[in-house]
Amino acid sequence: MSLTASVHKRLSEHFSLDIDMSAMPGITMVFGASGSGKTTLLRCLAGLVKPDSGCITIGAEVLFDSVRSRSVPVQQRHIGYVFQQLALFPHLSAEDNIGYGLAAMSPELRRQRVKAIAESLHITHLLSRLPDAISGGERQRVALARSLVTDPAFLLLDEPLSALDHATRSRIMDDLRAWNVAHRIPILYVTHSHREVFALGERVIVLDGGKITSDGTPHDVMESPAHETLAQLAGFDNFFDGTVTVRRADAGTMQCRLDGSGTEMEVPLSRGAVESPVRVAIRAGDILLATSEPRGLSARNVLPGRLVSLKREGATVIAGVEAGERFLVHVTPGACESLRLGVGDPVWLIIKTHSCRLVSL
Amino acid sequence: MDWLAIWLSVKLATIVATILLLIGLPIAYWLTFSAWRWKFLVEAVVALPLVLPPTVLGFYVLVAIGSRSPLGRAWTAWTGHGLAFTFEALVLASILYSLPFAVQPIAASFAQVDGTLLEASSTLGSSRWRTFVRVLLPLSFEGVLAGAVLSFAHTLGEFGVVLMVGGNLPGITRTVSISIYDSVQAFDQAAANQTALLLLAFSFAVLAGVYALRRKSWSVSPL
Amino acid sequence: MIQLMLFRRTFVRLTMVVGLGLLSTTAAAQDLSIAAASDLQAVFPVVAERFERETGKKVGLTFGSSGNFFSQIQHGAPFDLFFSADHDYAVRLEASGLAERGSLYRYAVGRIVLWTRNDSGIDVRRGLSVLVDPRVKRVAIANPEHAPYGRAAVAALQREKLYEAVRPKFVFGESVSQAAQFIQSGNSEAGIIALSLALGPALRANGSYSEVPAGSHPPIEQSAVITSASRHKDVARQFLSFLKQPEISRMMQDFGFTIPSNP
């Protein structure tokens, strides 16, 4: 059964949520910056917030229809919702938390069901504990179990794993994925982490300013981000304004001149005419650094510059290079050492045409 | 020691505290969760007895239930005797007078319960009643207890309203605070002192108990 | 969970207490409920106790200011007998039908005295003029708004042309017995109270009084009535007859009351 929703809600003078989407069984990521409307969307689907107008259905059942003034109360929507703060009942044990939604069941049956879900999420050893005696990723598992055990028609997850470290996150994600294989229901997974999008999503919807701006597989959406906000989220670090100077339709490329510095760059072809403005986005990891002027390279953009800063961040060194514009470049610490990079050194930046993405403003 | 007056006071305070718990819970619930524009008016009415002199409240209650009032006459027609100057009149007046002492701690306690927990309960299929009983009440238990205990203690110490509405009838409306007053009028300092000390000790014990229970942030006032 | 259990238990206990309380009868069964002016504070408990012994009927006494009782009876206060310190209240109750016609009984004429504690250093034998003395900072009287003894005190002071001088020092008692209590506790250096209170055991021991001439104020005529709403009119009449017995009359006179002749 799939979930379809067209939701319109005005939240303030400047912001309204305008969504038209559908979700098939499987995991659909909802990706966007904070304030983009992700949580509001979830709350509308859950029934915690009433849209101004629209229609929400799951399979054949209508949960909300403003035209026919029908709105099923949240208690009866049979959903699973994992809140960002998890919202575990502090006065109930993990077992009672998980069994909370199974009140209509006989105690014996309830215990069995709770045990089963606890086993599949590897938390049977925690069942008698109170939430404050459970830490880290296990709390997320309890919250997840609580939502899954009721066999919901669809599942809503609001950044449930954002506070966890990478390893814990991926383990929980594996378990969720396994559960999803067995229970094919639509799962909406809200996140602002592009790593999660790639790790989990079969499909991603991008929200920006209350509207869906992209929809597709993670690869499609993230690799060629159409909008700057998405690009920023998707890990692009360099953004420049420029103007189109030459169009080479047969070669599939354009030349543009960056505002301010006048630096010329070759970028992929887009619809913009000559003299129209463009915004260029380049990942820091897509730029190569050379300590002597390179020759015979296939790359079309080779820019001379000066190294102005070096900062080590975990397994990467972020180099700041002044080449007309300020560029951020990622190099490995090993490369940094063997090239004997030092602040003030002259360097050359090597950027492939297709590493430059054109984003709408 | 006027044991009759003490028994009367304890009885009055217990009945009033129980009734206030029953009506205070829904009022506090409504005050915490309603988004009605004119809610502040209700809040003011509930808080009124905190600032009204007891004689003002007593006066209006007496006017409202006296033998010349429509309510008083209806009561007489129904029961055969008046409403004013009876134990029932004290119960009524005390409910009004101690109302904020019940409602405010309960409402404050409700308000500090994380709203997301209540939402989580709804998403798991719980009706509003079930969410109230299984999530809201247990997590605001201290406030509810404080409300019950404070309205008990406040009623126990009442004087002005009881005097005006009750008429100081021994065994019927002569509560312990009035009894102390009477002893003083009769120049029996010893009796007055004894009873007063008992009341003081009891009130202190009650308050100390309530404060001890509250583990979260209190300021100075329990309200 | 523990909290929930505690709550349930407390709630069950409370319900039981409430249930028991509601089941038990409210009144300590009384045969007669008397509203008595507070100047009778010293003598009436003894009279009532005597009455109880002789007739076996239980009497509930409530002392207070006559004005307060007057208004309470108008609002339906369930007293059987009202011993007012002011004849006028009794007449008005009879006239308005709230008191039984013909039940009015003039039971006493009261006297006011100047009273002070023995250790105050104030010589009351000098009469009312001693109140002007700077050592007397506060003068306690019953509230003249509704207490006949207070009105008499004011009248006496006006007669002696001392009212304006003493007026700033006034401390009003809600009843004449509260006024007496103010002086007895040391909150007022002196005051004008009822003779019957000054002759009572508590005040007699540690104070001294001087009588204020009866002619200096309108007489304090004290009358009693049986309320129309009373359900124990026969017992009330019994009490009034009891009062008229020579022995009880003498007791009243011992406390400074004059018993007027009743037509």
C32-109+220-254 and C110-216 share one fold: yes
Which residues of B, range 63-92, sit inside 8 Å of C by Cβ?
63, 66-68, 72, 76, 81-87
Nearest to B124 among A73, A90, A100 (CB): A100
Q: Which residue of B has its CA nearest to A75?
A: B125
Nearest to B85 by CA among B62, B54, B55, B107: B62
- CA separation for the pair B84, B165 (Å, rounded): 6
pLDDT digits (tens, 9 = 90+) for C227-242: 998 989 999 999 999 9
pLDDT for the residue C29? 65
Q: Which residue of A has its CA nearest to C2?
A: A91
DSSP 8-state secondary structure symbol assigned to residue B198: H
Mean pLDDT calculated for residue range A113-117: 94
Name which CATH class applies to A3-233: alpha beta
- CA separation for the pair A187, C95 (Å, rounded): 86
**Could you tell me the pLDDT band of residue A64, with boundaries at 50, 70 and 90?**
very high
Q: From the candidates A75, A91, A97, A151, which should be mutated to test the interface with B, based on the most B CB atoms within 10 A?
A: A75
* Chain C closest-CA separation from residue A93 CA (Å): 9
Q: What is the mean pLDDT of chain B?
A: 87
* Chain B closest-CA separation from residue A229 CA (Å): 29
Domain boundaries, chain A: 3-233, 238-358
In a domain, B165, yes or no: yes
pLDDT digits (tens, 9 = 90+) for B19-73: 999 999 999 999 999 999 999 999 999 999 989 888 888 888 888 888 778 888 8
In a domain, B171, yes or no: yes
**Could you tell me the pLDDT band of residue C26, with boundaries at 50, 70 and 90?**
very low
- CA separation for the pair C8, B212 (Å, rounded): 20
Using a CB–CB cutoff of 8 Å, tell me whether A91 touches chain C.
Answer: yes
- CA separation for the pair C92, C89 (Å, rounded): 5
A86-103: b (≥16 Cβ within 10 Å) or e:
bbbbebbbbbbbbbbbbe
Does residue C23 carry a pLDDT above 50?
Answer: no
B122–A74: do the CB atoms touch at under 8 Å? yes
A155-184: b (≥16 Cβ within 10 Å) or e:
bbbbbbbeebeeebbeebbeebeebbeeee
Does residue C115 carry a pLDDT above 90?
Answer: yes
* Chain B closest-CA separation from residue A72 CA (Å): 12
Using a CB–CB cutoff of 8 Å, tell me whether A129 touches chain C.
Answer: no
What the block records as the tokens of A161 is 């794993």
pLDDT digits (tens, 9 = 90+) for A9-34: 998 888 889 999 999 998 899 988 87
The proportion of chain A whose per-residue pLDDT surpasses 70, expressed as a percent, equals: 96
Domain boundaries, chain C: 32-109+220-254, 110-216
Mean pLDDT calculated for residue range C206-214: 91
**Could you tell me the pLDDT band of residue B220, with boundaries at 50, 70 and 90?**
very low
Nearest to A160 by CA among A80, A229, A97, A235: A80
Range of the domain at B74: 3-33+54-116+142-213
Using a CB–CB cutoff of 8 Å, tell me whether A146 touches chain B.
Answer: yes
How far does CA C79 lie from the centroid of its chain? 14
Q: Residues of C near B (CB-CB distance < 8 A)?
A: 1, 3-4, 6-7, 10, 14-15, 17-18, 21-22, 24, 26-28, 30, 33, 38, 41, 45, 60-64, 72, 74-79, 175, 177-178, 180-181, 184, 200, 202-203, 229
C100: left (phi over 0), alpha (psi -120 to 50) or beta: beta
Nearest to A212 by CA among A18, A13, A8: A18
| Angle CA A144–A148–A153, to nearest 5 | 130
pLDDT digits (tens, 9 = 90+) for A214-239: 888 877 776 667 676 667 667 778 88
- CA separation for the pair C227, C79 (Å, rounded): 7
Q: Which of A145-149, A345-349, C9-13 has the lowest mean pLDDT?
A: C9-13
pLDDT for the residue C71? 86
What the block records as the tokens of B125 is 């299929």
Task: Tell me which range, A198-212, A299-313, C42-56, is most confidently predicted by mean pLDDT.
Answer: C42-56
- CA separation for the pair C41, A171 (Å, rounded): 87
C61–B185: do the CB atoms touch at under 8 Å? no
What the block records as the tokens of A321 is 């290079």
List A97's β-bridge partners, or say none. Answer: none
Contact C67, C89 (CB under 8 A): yes
Chains with at least 3 CB pairs less than 8 angstroms from chain C: A, B
Chains with at least 3 CB pairs less than 8 angstroms from chain B: A, C
Q: Which residue of C has its CA nearest to A89?
A: C1
Chains with at least 3 CB pairs less than 8 angstroms from chain A: B, C
Query: How many distinct structural domains can be found in chain B?
Result: 1
How big is the A-B interface in CB pairs under 8 Å? 53
Contact B93, B58 (CB under 8 A): yes
Nearest to C21 among B15, B68, B171 (CB): B15
Does residue B123 carry a pLDDT above 50?
Answer: yes
Contact A27, A189 (CB under 8 A): yes
Using a CB–CB cutoff of 8 Å, tell me whether B59 touches chain C.
Answer: no
The residue that leads in pLDDT, B214 or B161, is: B161
pLDDT for the residue C131? 92
pLDDT for the residue C13? 59
Using a CB–CB cutoff of 8 Å, tell me whether B103 touches chain C.
Answer: no
Element (H, E) at A290: strand A288-290
pLDDT for the residue A125? 93
Contact A347, A306 (CB under 8 A): yes
pTM: 0.74
Nearest to A63 by CA among A3, A148, A152, A20: A3
For helices B176-185 and B3-33, give the axis angle rounded to 10 degrees: 140
Alpha-carbon distances of A36 from A212, A216, B107, rounded to whole Å: 10, 18, 34
Using a CB–CB cutoff of 8 Å, tell me whether C5 touches chain A.
Answer: no
- CA separation for the pair A194, C81 (Å, rounded): 90
Contact A282, A352 (CB under 8 A): no
Q: Which residues in chain C touch residue B13, judged by CB atoms under 8 angstroms apart? A: none
Q: Which residue of C has its CA nearest to A96?
A: C1
Does residue C21 carry a pLDDT above 80?
Answer: no
In a domain, B83, yes or no: yes
Sign of CA dihedral B20, B24, B25, B26: positive
pLDDT for the residue C24? 45
Name which CATH class applies to C110-216: alpha beta
- CA separation for the pair A33, A18 (Å, rounded): 16
Q: Which DSSP string do the residues of A48-65 spell out, in sequence order?
A: SS--SEEEEEETTEEEEE
Interacting residues of C125 by C-beta distance below 8 A, sequence separation 6+: C210
- CA separation for the pair C238, B47 (Å, rounded): 50
What's the CATH fold of domain C32-109+220-254?
Answer: D-Maltodextrin-Binding Protein; domain 2 (3.40.190)
The residue that leads in pLDDT, A226 or A7, is: A7
A87–B120: do the CB atoms touch at under 8 Å? yes
| Angle CA C257–C258–C261, to nearest 5 | 140
Interacting residues of A9 by C-beta distance below 8 A, sequence separation 6+: A16, A17, A40, A44, A49, A51, A52, A54
Residue B66's Cβ-count burial label (10 Å; 0-12, 13-18, 19+) is buried
Question: Where are the strands (E) in A24-96, listed by range?
Answer: 26-31, 53-58, 61-65, 70-71, 79-82
A92–C3: do the CB atoms touch at under 8 Å? no
Q: From the candidates A91, A96, A132, which should be mutated to test the interface with C, based on the most C CB atoms within 10 A?
A: A91
- CA separation for the pair A126, A123 (Å, rounded): 6
**Could you tell me the pLDDT band of residue B221, with boundaries at 50, 70 and 90?**
very low
Q: From the candidates B168, B174, B188, which should be mutated to test the interface with C, based on the most C CB atoms within 10 A?
A: B168
pLDDT digits (tens, 9 = 90+) for A179-195: 888 889 999 999 887 77
| Pairing verdict, β C105-110 and C220-226 | antiparallel
Which residues of A, range 56-75, sit inside 8 Å of B by Cβ?
73-75
* Chain C closest-CA separation from residue B82 CA (Å): 7
Mean pLDDT calculated for residue range B97-124: 94
Q: Which residue of B has its CA nearest to C80?
A: B169
Contact A317, A340 (CB under 8 A): no
Q: From the candidates B185, B206, B216, which should be mutated to test the interface with C, based on the most C CB atoms within 10 A?
A: B185
B68–C76: do the CB atoms touch at under 8 Å? yes
How many angstroms separate the most distant Cα atoms in chain A? 77
Does residue C15 carry a pLDDT above 60?
Answer: no
Residue A255's Cβ-count burial label (10 Å; 0-12, 13-18, 19+) is middle
What CATH code is assigned to A238-358? 2.40.50.100
Nearest to A231 by CA among A32, A44, A84, A86: A32
Nearest to A101 among B117, B125, B138 (CB): B125
Mean pLDDT calculated for residue range A165-189: 87
Mean pLDDT calculated for residue range A61-67: 92
**Could you tell me the pLDDT band of residue A7, with boundaries at 50, 70 and 90?**
very high
Q: Which residue of A has its CA nearest to B136?
A: A89
Q: Which residues in chain C touch residue B14, judged by CB atoms under 8 angstroms apart? A: 14, 17-18, 21
What the block records as the tokens of B138 is 């247990």
Mean pLDDT calculated for residue range C253-260: 91
* Chain C closest-CA separation from residue B189 CA (Å): 10
How big is the B-C interface in CB pairs under 8 Å? 108
Using a CB–CB cutoff of 8 Å, tell me whether C4 touches chain A.
Answer: yes
**Could you tell me the pLDDT band of residue B218, with boundaries at 50, 70 and 90?**
very low
Q: What is the mean pLDDT of chain C?
A: 87
What CATH number has the domain bearing residue B73? 1.10.3720.10
In a domain, B97, yes or no: yes
Does residue B110 carry a pLDDT above 80?
Answer: yes
Q: Which residue of C has its CA nearest to B169?
A: C62
Contact C132, C100 (CB under 8 A): no
In a domain, B155, yes or no: yes
pLDDT for the residue A201? 65
Q: Which residue of B has its CA nearest to C206?
A: B187
DSSP 8-state secondary structure symbol assigned to residue C247: H
Q: Which residues in chain C touch residue B169, judged by CB atoms under 8 angstroms apart? A: 33, 60, 62, 78
* Chain B closest-CA separation from residue A208 CA (Å): 25
Q: Which residues in chain B touch residue C14, judged by CB atoms under 8 angstroms apart? A: 14, 17-18, 21, 148
Contact A263, A245 (CB under 8 A): no
Q: Which residues in chain B touch residue C74, judged by CB atoms under 8 angstroms apart? A: 66-68
Nearest to C21 among B14, B83, B188 (CB): B14
* Chain A closest-CA separation from residue B119 CA (Å): 7
List A207's β-bridge partners, or say none. Answer: A212
* Chain A closest-CA separation from residue C5 CA (Å): 12
**Could you tell me the pLDDT band of residue C27, with boundaries at 50, 70 and 90?**
very low
